[in-house]
């Protein structure tokens, strides 16, 4: 099941999934049972070392997938609290990266999501993400701003 890329509004500015973000990843997601998947082809503007996706952007890709896993599986919004990551091999520019995420622990307010990124059939990255799932008041306190309505419906 393809997830709506405009879930958080037509003009939302998320670097990872904002369809209109001028330099963002423009990621799209699909739910397959308990798993959420995405595909991404990094370009030359995403490299750190020549020909290799910058490590911080690898983690950005995985973090976005983990966040959407919570949205798809729980219908809630989580805020990243911790990351335990392992880089198994470099992710190359110009080749498809396949990402898969799933909830491994759901404590209600604390949710853990595992993410695997693969390229050319081999594991490149594994991350365990811990998210705080906040109500609207908690989310607005964290952001120091009012939540847009498209986001607020995921904070209950």
pTM over 0.85: yes
Domain residue ranges of the chain, discontinuous segments joined by +: 30-152
Burial 69-98 (b: 16+ CB within 10 A, else e): bbbbbbebbbeeeeeeeeeeebbbbeeebe
Domain with residues 30-152, CATH architecture: Roll (3.10)
Grade residue 148 by pLDDT with cuts at 50, 70 and 90: confident
Model confidence band, residue 109 (pLDDT cutoffs 50, 70, 90): very high
The whole-number pLDDT of residue 13 equals 84
Render pLDDT for 1-44 as a digit per residue (tens, 0 to 9). 998 888 888 788 899 998 888 898 999 999 999 999 999 999 99
Share of residues in the chain with pLDDT > 90 (%): 80
Rounded mean pLDDT of 105-126? 97
């Amino acid at each position: 099941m393809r997830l709506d890329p405009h879930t958080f509004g037509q003009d939302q500015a998320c670097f990872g999934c904002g369809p209109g973000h001028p330099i963002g990843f423009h990621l799209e997601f699909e739910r397959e049972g308990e798993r959420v998947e995405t595909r991404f082809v990094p370009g030359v503007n995403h490299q750190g070392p020549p020909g290799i996706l910058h490590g911080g952007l690898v983690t950005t890709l995985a973090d976005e997938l983990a966040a959407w896993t919570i949205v798809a599986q729980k219908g809630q919004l989580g805020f990243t609290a911790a990351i335990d990551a392992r880089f198994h091999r470099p992710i190359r520019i110009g080749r498809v990266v396949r990402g898969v995420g799933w909830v491994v622990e759901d404590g209600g307010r604390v949710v853990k999501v595992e993410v695997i990124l693969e390229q050319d059939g081999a594991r490149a990255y594994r991350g365990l993400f811990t998210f705080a799932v906040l109500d609207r008041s908690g989310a607005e306190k964290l952001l120091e701003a009012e939540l847009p309505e498209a986001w607020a419906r995921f904070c209950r």
